[in-house]
Amino acid sequence: MKFVFDRRPSDAPLVETIWHTRSAGSGSFMSSAASNIEMVVTQQTGGMWLTVRGPETKASPAPIPEDAEFLGIIFKLGTFVPCLPASELVDGGIHLPEAAGQSFWLHGSAWQFPTFDNADTFVDRLVRQGLLAHDPLVEAALQGELKDVSARSVQRRFRRITGLTPGTMVQIERARRAMTLLQQGVSILDTVEQAGYYDQPHLTRSLKHFIGQTPAQLTDRRRNE
């Protein structure tokens, strides 16, 4: 099944992108590894729910609910939900309980489900209520800008915020960069160099694990689209 996504940028400082799509029928797709947390609203006949999804450390098949509508809010690296343990979000997610009147429960309060148009306002309210926060340590650690902080302190704080180690996140981000380069038409050998891999076999192993496709498959897919 091929999704057609509507995407838009956001005025909310903690948001990377907002997306919207629909499914026709049911099936599955290959979900790639990702470092960001995400809130996904799913609406289907008979129900509506919000899932907070954490980082995914490997590619894996994911089911597609039949005839459903989805809204996603992808947050910038270092964004977290203080009342939800990051470790419980990794390679999964938490479905927030439904409340009355098209709303859900979060930290003891009922919240209206966001829409594609008002997602920015929804995020701003979460920030004001202390239910969404951001720690600049994550991006600083990935860029090697924490020279005066002990490695143990960085590891502990990084894992508390993201549920991952810095090394795992670096590998995920490198694989996603390589995928983007290949989708843009960069050759496999140039991708090896630009994404910082040792050689082509290293690139292939990484993409199979984190993206679920080989470099050749990504290249062929681009040519056929």
pLDDT (tens digit, 9 = 90+) per residue, 27-85?
778 899 999 999 999 998 878 999 999 999 999 988 887 888 999 999 999 999 999 99
Q: Which residue from 65, 32, 27 is spatially nearest to 48, judged by alpha carbons?
A: 65
Q: What pLDDT, on the 0 to 100 scale, is given for residue 225?
A: 60
Distance CA 151, CA 163 (A): 16
Q: What pLDDT, on the 0 to 100 scale, is given for residue 76?
A: 96
Low-confidence ranges of the chain (pLDDT < 50): none
Q: What pLDDT, on the 0 to 100 scale, is given for residue 156?
A: 92
Residue 212 main-chain phi, psi, to 5 deg: 85, 10
Q: Are 35 and 169 in contact (CB under 8 A)?
A: yes
Q: What pLDDT, on the 0 to 100 scale, is given for residue 101?
A: 79
pTM of the predicted model as reported, rounded to 2 decimal places: 0.91
Architecture of domain 171-224: Orthogonal Bundle (1.10)
Q: Which residues contact 213 (CB under 8 A, 6 or more apart)?
A: 30, 59, 207, 221
Q: What pLDDT, on the 0 to 100 scale, is given for residue 34?
A: 95
Residue 192 corresponds to which amino acid? V
